[in-house]
Structure formats: C-alpha cells, structure tokens
Structure 1
Amino acid sequence: MTHLGTRIETDAIVIGGGFGGCNSLYRLRQMGLSVKLIEAGGAFGGVWYWNRYPGARVDTEMPSYQFNIPAVWKGWNWSERFPGDEELRRYFQHVDSVLGLSKDTLFHTIVTRVHYDTASRRWIVHTNIGLRASCKYLITATGSSYKKHYPQFAGLEQFTGQLVHSADYPDSLDVTGKRVGVVGNGASGLQLVQSLAKEDCRLTVFIRTPCFAIPMKQRAVSLPESEMLKGYYDGIFDRCYTSATGFPHNTRFQSALHATPEERKELFDELWARGGYSWLISNYYDFLLNEQANSIFYDYWVQQVRARMTDRKKMDLVAPLKQQMLVGTKRPSLEQDYYEMIDRLNVTLHSLKHSPITAFDTTGLSTCDGDTMEHHDLDIVIFATGYDAVTGSLLDLNISDCNQVPLADKWKDGILTHLGIMVPDAPNLFMVYGPQAPTSLANGPPFIEMEVDWICKAIEKMQKEGLGSIEPSQKAAEEWQDHVAAVSEHTLYPKADSWYMGTNIPGKRREPLIYLGGMQRWWKNCMDSLENWDGFHTL
C-alpha cells in the first residue's frame, strides 16, 4: 500500500518494516487493534532490504534466525546454513504473502516528526509525503542498523571516482580492472573484501582496527534436511527464548582459568571445527569478564589465523602475536575465506593507525605516516563504515514527548529508558530493538518476539484495567540507567571502543548502548514490572 490519503487515525502505528516492525504489526492485529506500518524502503526486510553488497549474509545460522510463526515456517525452507541477502529478501516476501502485511503498510514513506498531543492523548506522526497520522500506541521498530555513517574527510567532494556506502550498494557495480579501496573493517567490510578479492581488481583495504573473525563453516542445506529440522523447531525456539543470548547453542559454566591447557585445546578445537558462534557462545563463560581468560582465547585464535596466511606483514597487521584487542568486545564476525583472500597478491592492506587518511583529491586519497605522505590512486571507494547504531535512527524520527521536549534533548546527558522499551513522559511509546535492551548482542528474531510479546501483554493489561496510558517514572528510568551501566562495568566491553559503546560516531556520547545482563535477567525485570505496574505511571 502506498497511499491512504493525507490523514490516518488508528489504534497503533509501527515505524520500521524489519523483523521488529513485521512482528509488531502481526501481533497487534491479532489483538484486534487497527494498525498501520510506515516503512522507508520499498519492501519488508529492514537491514536486509538495504544490504545488497557482494557477500552480504546473516551471521546467525538457521533455523533460529526467523519468526516462530508456524503458518510462516511450514511453507519455507532455507537453502543455506547462513542465508545471503537475496534469500532473506525472499523470506520477507514469503512472510508478507502468508501474513498479509502489505495491506496495512505505507512503503517509501519516511517519518519526519513525531509529537504527543496532550489534548487528544495521541501521538501525531508526520511524514515526507504529507501524511499526518495519529495513534494511541506508537511502536518504533527502526532497528540498530539504518542510519548510515559517512566519515568526513577533507576534499571528499573533489573525488571524481565512484563513492559507495556498503548499505547503499548499486546493483551493477563493475570492479573489473578497477582500483578499489574499502574503508572499514567490520562485518560488512569483511564480507565485501572476502568477495571482491576474488574479482579481477586491485583491492586496497584501509584498516583502523583489525576485525575479530571466526570460521562460518557455510554449507548448503537440502530440502529433506530442512524439513527434518522442523520436527525440532519447538525445542530450538524454546531454547532461544530461555537462553541468555537468544541463541540455541549449548553453554558451558566453567572458567577458562579452571581448565587445564589440554582441556582448553580440546574444547577450542571442537568448537572451532563446528563453526558459527559456537566458539564463543558454547565456550568458557568468562572470556568477556576476565582479561586473563580473554588472552587465552586470543592466543588460540591468533595461531589459527596466522596458519592460514603466508604474508608475514599482513599477518602482523590483522593478527599480531601480541594481543592488541580484547576478543568479543567489538562485534565478532564470521568469515568463510577472509584470511586467505587478504593474503592474495591483488589485495593490499593499509594500517590507518600508523598512517591515517589525510585528504581526498580528484584521483584518490592520501595517507600520512609522520613526515611520509603516500597517495593511493583509486577508481572506486567503498565506505564500509557502518551506522550510527541503535539510537541514530530513533533520534532521526524527531520525537517530542508530552512536554514537547525532543528525545535528543532528553538523552543529551545519557540515554534514559525503562527496560529499554519505554521512555519517561512518552505515554504508550514502545521501542523495539532499541537502546538499553539486549538488542544487538542477542539473536534478533527471538529477542524481538519477546519484546513484542511484552508490549502486547502491557496493552492487554491496560485494556483489562481500563487504562488510557502507561509511561515509566523518571526514578525507574534512572535506576535502569544505573543498572545498565553497572552491569557493563563488570564486563570487558567498556575497555574497547566500539559501536556497542557509541564510539564509532564522532561526538556521540560514550555509554553502553546495549544491556549486557542477558535476556533472562532483562525478561525477569520486564515481567516483574507488569505485576503491579512497578516503575510506571498509569492513567
């Protein structure tokens, strides 16, 4: 649906058409509410609608990265252990076909401003197409990875070659015979480099911080195997909901420091061969809590990586023998043949820590190492520089609360939410996959289903008790803010600069964007709050 007139009045509005938005629309309609969804893209999928760069695929293996909706999964079979972007877009088409989501959705529509009208006690949503919509319940499902981060370099506008962001990759970018530069070395940068290195091009990878990547062990999944797995879906999904991370993996409640070197090597070898996130999630629990344990993990990882490469200089940049990063404190990536690909002769690695980019010009960019300047002639520059994660897309909605205070002002001294779901002075505003919740450190779909389930439970309780609105108290939000910070300080995450801490964006406040206490601890707090509306004002 693309046009519903210039005004809409409905029970609920959902902003965003990824996993969070689709699930919110589906569940709220099941409750009998009238719901409209607003999506900036041309189809459902969220990050998987936008991500179309070579090699783009999800790092969560099937079947746990999907909706636990039998009507959807009965008619769908995954073809790979880790599906690529094209298959994920087909999956969302299938979801829409089964659940009929499009009939209540406005595509190609961007929310420009949102404010709360105290007279009508409703949210007013303004869009770029002139549509004005009002609702009682507002659900923001804008995701963690929507607002692209473009780094600012002197002379960038002078570059006459092609500039590309990985989240806005053209359908037909031909790199044959071209000099290609990739700036950024996170998940997208890794997947891009892994793919482009195989092409007939000269590839220069500009690396500020080496990525931490472990084997994906990708493989095809046959139709009989996919159907067979459906017999275990209840167990797999239940495990996702009751785990700390939303993943169904086995867990091990043993310290790396209390195991012998022989025991550690046996477990490390077993999990490494298994592939995926098993090597982190099913391993000794304390590698993110204790630097000595973390070093044990690093020492194993670095030997595995260096054994796959031949170029000593490249090895020393991406996997130095002396530990320079804490394992897992930045977003871990899965790779298929990344280390073999960067070892190729057509790939050059450039350290931005030793020789940062100083400026662009018409033909490329310059770097400087002390007094030594180097010019890199480039035809194409790809920014794999990620996003203003978690909060960027929320703040772009220009939300003002019931006192007409913008969300950006409310959060200028630190993010303030209760449970990562609601904000003080914002009645019936619910965030899905937002800050101060497990969000990006949990398996997205099952975690999102739990968030949406809580929202539905809260609305059902409101209806049963005849309440018009709920909003968290300032005190409850401040206590949750303190709790999020305290939990973070007991981990190694604050010791690293990462988008988990907001440090990838110049000028962004450094604070934990993600709740690190695990899904079960978070969920208990959520459910306890529903008992007597603890921490909430009701009206």
Structure 2
Amino acid sequence: MGSSQDTYEILVIGAGFSGIYALHNLRKRGFNVKVYEAGTYMGGTWYWNRYPGARVDTDNPIYQFNEEGLWDFAWTERFPAHPELQEYFRYLDDKLQLSKDIEYNTNVSATQFDNARNQWQVKTDDGRVTWANHLFLCTGSTTTRYTPPFKGLDKFKGISHHSYVWPKAGVDFSGKRVAVIGTGASAVQIIQEIGSKVGHLTVYQRTPNLCLPMQQAKANDPSKAAWFPPKSKFPEIFGVARRSFSGLNFDWEPKNAADVTPEERRALYESLYAHGGFAFWLANFQDMLFDKESNAYAYTFWAEKARARIHDPLKRDILAPLVAPHAIGIKRPYLEQTYYEVFNQPNVDLINVRESPILEITEKGVLTEKEGVVEVDIIVLATGFDSLTGSIKSIDIRNGKGEGLRDMWKTNGTSTYLGLTTAGFPNLWYMYGPQASRVNF
C-alpha cells in the first residue's frame, strides 16, 4: 500500500476489463500507473456479479483480450459462466503481473483538480490522498445498482438481495418461496438457474425481455467444435469484429427485408436463430433497426418462436405478446437457454406489474394491486443499474473551480466530448463512459 501522498502520472479507478487493459497498455508505453479497485480482486462486473446463473452473452473468442500472446486460455464454453471468467482474470494476472500495480479494497470517494499543481487530488475512504497528472475512470457501465423505492422493503422479514451484491456464500433456494422482481438480463439468468430448485417462484415483469436463443456449446462436445476455432483463425475473427457495426464477428445482411421474398426472409431468420447469440439482432437485414416494416417482420418471427414454447395462454401474452411492446432490438435483448420453459412449471407465477403494480413490500412478501400479498421467503431484486453515469457520479468529482461534475450533469444534462472527457475537467478520461463513440450494449 502506498503512502498518503503518492504521485502518479496516471491513476486508474477500477480493475475490470477496461481498467486492467489500460494498465497493461500504459505500462508498455512507460507510464507510471496505479489502479485503485474497491473489490478484493480484479474483474469488475465479473467480480461483483456472482448471482446464480451469471454468464457472459458474447461468444468467445470475442469476449477476451485480442492481443496475440494472450490466446492460450482454454475456454470450456461458447458463452462462459462467472467462475470461468474469474479464472480468466487470474490467467491475465499471472501472465501480465497486473496485481503488483493494483491496490485492492480501495474505494475512491472524492477527487478535485488542483490548478496550482495541475494535478488531480484523489481521496479514498480510508483517508489517503493521492496525486495524479491524469485520471482514468474505468468505473464500468453497470456498477451502480438501482433499487426502486419500494415502500416497506426494510420491513421484510425474509432474505432480500440485489442481484449485483449477491453474497459470496450464495443463497439456498431449495424448496423456498421466491419472488424475482424484474426481467432484465440478470433476472433471466437467475430465473433459469433457480427455476428447478424453488418451491414456488413468482416473477414480477414490467416489460417483456425479447430473449434470443443462446445456443450454448461446450468444448468437450465434438459436435460443437466449430464454436472453438483454432488460434490461427483469431486474426481473421478479430478483424471482422473491428470492422462490424456491432463489434462482433458478424455484420448485417446487405439487403432490405422488403426486397426479398417471404421465403428468403424466413430462411435468413431461421439461420440466424439457429446460429444463436446476438446474430438475430445484429446480423439481420440491414434495415431491421431503421425501418418499421423490416422490424415488424423480425418481431413476428421472434414472437412465433417464443410463443410456441409457452403453454399457458395468459403467460404467453405477457412474455411474448402478439403486438410488439417496442421495436425488437431497440432495447437490448438477452440470451436464454431455458427461460421460457421455466414458466411452464406449475409452481411458477407471472405478474404483469403494468396492470397490477407493486404497492409495497410487507413483512411477509410482495403486495400488488390485484393479487394482494404473495408471501415469500426470498426476494431477488433484479432491478438493474444507474447505467453509464451512475458509477462516475458516485464519486464527488470537482474541477479547479470547485464545480461538481454530478451537479453540472444534473442541471445541464450529461455532456461529454466524444464520450471521453468533459470540458472544464482537464485530464479526466472516461473509459466505456456516457456518449462514447462505440456500441453501447
């Protein structure tokens, strides 16, 4: 641990993918770099997100460092789960000796630019002060959890956890009555994972998640070998990803949906669905996200596929309505494996909170307008994040005039230059921040 007045050329806040990538590359260029990380180890979202079923939704080999020399990690799944991603970070640490320049258990609470010194003064929760010429905020896009202000949540007598701050020891769901509030990415994973274990499950949905099939593959399955390409193919794969709209190793079909026959449309949709992953979203007809008719064709196909898997007609209309709740692909879909089948279980209920809002949390469970109190033993708050800006605003960042960044953004709206920095805050840089010039998943 450094002294209370250390000075660095560059101080990086956060040791997730962007933070350790910045550390690695800045060190190669000869800079004096230190990383502050609030957790006990690196990993960012893959340190904190340890809820049941946590898994990445981008294929390997895309979801890894693309630098040659770091390609010898042997992935066991097409879409790796949380434990394997933790192993990958340990691999990177061993390979690049990252931890020697990272201070763990170090939470930055405030920072202010000093005009006289032309440096940033950085304060941590333990009272230390550090100085830096440049400050890199690698604080992540989904690292500040959001919990709706449910009345009575503090009075609930059972177990309650937000998906982002899941206990390391886990939670025993066996035979328990469980409520999952939310149907975003984390909720989809949790519901799939715990559906076979619970005594009873009640899911509270506001907006249906237009989930796409993951089509998971395991490396020990010879029939799935195509999903684990040899290292000789990596340069080509990474090259396609760099040039594509999505940053993935595929791109749009260079045709408009209305310009082909219904049979040709169907053939492409079936092919993308079978491919799995985000292909149906981001390798579809080139006008799918930009033309209402094209989008409607895609949604109709998706709804047909999803509805065929849901037995109960009421649940079917809530999970996969015939009329699109929004244009498909405009909100990020999530990848699922058995999500829709869980709702076919007789011990699983689904409540549409648009029609029956949650009124409060009681000592015994969740009170909605139409159902009354559903008594539960465990509440899972899969209610998402204050995305992109939340982690930045959690730090009291002030410029040389004493003006606070969070106050400026609250008054005038979020404002950045190319998603990299903000006028008046010199040498303060955002990695994967708001308004950045890249795909914001």
TM-score interval (norm. to shorter): over 0.9
Alpha-carbon offset, residue 253 of structure 1: 2.1
Asked if the contact 1:46–1:143 (Cα under 8 Å) also holds between the matched residues in 2, the reply is yes
Alignment deviations for residues 103-130 of structure 1 (CA, whole Å, 9 cap, x no partner): 1111111100011000010011100122
AA in 2 matched with 1:391:
T
Asked if the contact 1:161–1:378 (Cα under 8 Å) also holds between the matched residues in 2, the reply is yes
Counterpart for residue 45 of structure 2:
47
Would you say 1:437 and 2:436 are equivalent positions? yes
Asked if the contact 1:39–1:110 (Cα under 8 Å) also holds between the matched residues in 2, the reply is yes
Would you say 1:116 and 2:117 are equivalent positions? no
Question: Does the C-alpha gap of structure 1 residues 228 and 60 become closer, same or farther in structure 2, counting only changes over 3 Å?
Answer: closer
Task: Tell me, in whole angstroms, the C-alpha distance in 2 between the residues paired with 1:436 and 1:257.
Answer: 32
Alignment deviations for residues 133-173 of structure 1 (CA, whole Å, 9 cap, x no partner): 11111110001010011111111111101111111112231
Counterpart for residue 238 of structure 1:
239
Task: Tell me, in whole angstroms, the C-alpha distance in 2 between the residues paired with 1:297 and 1:228.
Answer: 30
AA in 1 matched with 2:420:
I
Q: Secondary structure at 2:147's aligned position in 1? A: coil
Task: Tell me, in whole angstroms, the C-alpha distance in 1 between the residues paired with 2:124 and 2:394.
Answer: 12
Task: Tell me, in whole angstroms, the C-alpha distance in 1 between the residues paired with 2:266 and 2:47.
Answer: 41
Task: Tell me, in whole angstroms, the C-alpha distance in 1 between the residues paired with 2:20 and 2:286.
Answer: 34
Asked if the contact 2:49–2:163 (Cα under 8 Å) also holds between the matched residues in 1, the reply is yes
Asked if the contact 2:204–2:352 (Cα under 8 Å) also holds between the matched residues in 1, the reply is yes
Alpha-carbon offset, residue 222 of structure 1: 4.0
Q: Secondary structure at 1:123's aligned position in 2? A: strand
Counterpart for residue 311 of structure 1:
312
Alpha-carbon offset, residue 379 of structure 1: 0.6
Task: Tell me, in whole angstroms, the C-alpha distance in 1 between the residues paired with 2:439 and 2:288.
Answer: 19
Counterpart for residue 348 of structure 1:
349
Selected match of 1:97 from 69, 84, 94: 94
Is the deviation greater in 249-258 or in 163-172? Answer: 249-258
Alpha-carbon offset, residue 250 of structure 1: 3.7
Selected match of 2:218 from 217, 220, 224: 220
Question: Does the C-alpha gap of structure 1 residues 91 and 185 become closer, same or farther in structure 2, counting only changes over 3 Å?
Answer: same
Task: Tell me, in whole angstroms, the C-alpha distance in 2 between the residues paired with 1:329 and 1:346.
Answer: 32
Task: Tell me, in whole angstroms, the C-alpha distance in 1 between the residues paired with 2:295 and 2:271.
Answer: 18
Task: Tell me, in whole angstroms, the C-alpha distance in 2 between the residues paired with 1:439 and 1:85.
Answer: 25
Would you say 1:288 and 2:286 are equivalent positions? no
Alpha-carbon offset, residue 201 of structure 1: 2.0
Alignment of 1:103-182 (within 5 A): 103-170=100-167, 171-182=169-180
Alignment deviations for residues 341-374 of structure 1 (CA, whole Å, 9 cap, x no partner): 12211211011001010011111121004xxx51
Alpha-carbon offset, residue 6 of structure 1: 1.8
Counterpart for residue 418 of structure 2:
419
Asked if the contact 2:244–2:251 (Cα under 8 Å) also holds between the matched residues in 1, the reply is no
Alpha-carbon offset, residue 431 of structure 1: 0.7
Q: Secondary structure at 2:12's aligned position in 1? A: strand
Asked if the contact 2:174–2:199 (Cα under 8 Å) also holds between the matched residues in 1, the reply is yes
Alpha-carbon offset, residue 240 of structure 1: 1.6
Counterpart for residue 59 of structure 2:
61
Alpha-carbon offset, residue 257 of structure 1: 2.0
Counterpart for residue 386 of structure 1:
384
Alpha-carbon offset, residue 25 of structure 1: 0.5
Asked if the contact 1:138–1:428 (Cα under 8 Å) also holds between the matched residues in 2, the reply is yes
Task: Tell me, in whole angstroms, the C-alpha distance in 2 between the residues paired with 1:385 and 1:13.
Answer: 32
Alpha-carbon offset, residue 44 of structure 1: 0.8
AA in 2 matched with 1:316:
D
Alignment of 1:459-498 (within 5 A): none
Would you say 1:399 and 2:397 are equivalent positions? yes
Task: Tell me, in whole angstroms, the C-alpha distance in 1 between the residues paired with 2:326 and 2:228.
Answer: 41
TM-score (norm 2): 0.96
Q: Secondary structure at 1:82's aligned position in 2? A: coil
Alpha-carbon offset, residue 20 of structure 1: 0.6
Q: Secondary structure at 2:70's aligned position in 1? A: helix
Asked if the contact 2:303–2:320 (Cα under 8 Å) also holds between the matched residues in 1, the reply is yes
Alignment deviations for residues 28-86 of structure 1 (CA, whole Å, 9 cap, x no partner): 11111110000111111100001111111000001001001223223x11100000011
Task: Tell me, in whole angstroms, the C-alpha distance in 2 between the residues paired with 1:178 and 1:60.
Answer: 32
CA RMSD of aligned residues (A): 1.5
Task: Tell me, in whole angstroms, the C-alpha distance in 2 between the residues paired with 1:438 and 1:196.
Answer: 38
Alpha-carbon offset, residue 223 of structure 1: 10
Counterpart for residue 407 of structure 2:
409
Alignment of 1:359-374 (within 5 A): 359-369=360-370, 374=372
Asked if the contact 1:193–1:342 (Cα under 8 Å) also holds between the matched residues in 2, the reply is no
Alignment deviations for residues 160-203 of structure 1 (CA, whole Å, 9 cap, x no partner): 01111111112231111211000010000001011111114201
Counterpart for residue 33 of structure 1:
31
Structure showing the higher helix proportion among its residues = 1
Alignment deviations for residues 460-504 of structure 1 (CA, whole Å, 9 cap, x no partner): xxxxxxxxxxxxxxxxxxxxxxxxxxxxxxxxxxxxxxxxxxxxx
- Report percent identity of matched pairs: 39
Task: Tell me, in whole angstroms, the C-alpha distance in 2 between the residues paired with 1:84 and 1:440.
Answer: 23
TM-score (norm 1): 0.79
Question: Does the C-alpha gap of structure 1 residues 405 and 239 become closer, same or farther in structure 2, counting only changes over 3 Å?
Answer: same
Alignment deviations for residues 356-407 of structure 1 (CA, whole Å, 9 cap, x no partner): 10011111121004xxx51110110000011100000001111112322111
Alpha-carbon offset, residue 308 of structure 1: 1.1
Task: Tell me, in whole angstroms, the C-alpha distance in 1 between the residues paired with 2:27 and 2:198.
Answer: 51
Would you say 1:339 and 2:340 are equivalent positions? yes
Task: Tell me, in whole angstroms, the C-alpha distance in 2 between the residues paired with 1:239 and 1:8.
Answer: 43
Asked if the contact 2:180–2:380 (Cα under 8 Å) also holds between the matched residues in 1, the reply is yes
AA in 2 matched with 1:236:
I
Counterpart for residue 374 of structure 2:
376
Is the deviation greater in 159-168 or in 250-259? Answer: 250-259
Would you say 1:229 and 2:230 are equivalent positions? yes
Unaligned runs of at least 5 residues, structure 1: 443-539
Counterpart for residue 522 of structure 1:
none
Task: Tell me, in whole angstroms, the C-alpha distance in 2 between the residues paired with 1:221 and 1:7.
Answer: 49
Alpha-carbon offset, residue 323 of structure 1: 2.2
Alignment of 1:176-191 (within 5 A): 176-191=174-189
Alpha-carbon offset, residue 251 of structure 1: 2.5
AA in 1 matched with 2:405:
L
Q: Secondary structure at 1:353's aligned position in 2? A: coil
Q: Secondary structure at 1:233's aligned position in 2? A: helix
Q: Secondary structure at 1:430's aligned position in 2? A: strand
Task: Tell me, in whole angstroms, the C-alpha distance in 2 between the residues paired with 1:403 and 1:253.
Answer: 51
AA in 2 matched with 1:82:
F
Q: Secondary structure at 1:288's aligned position in 2? A: coil
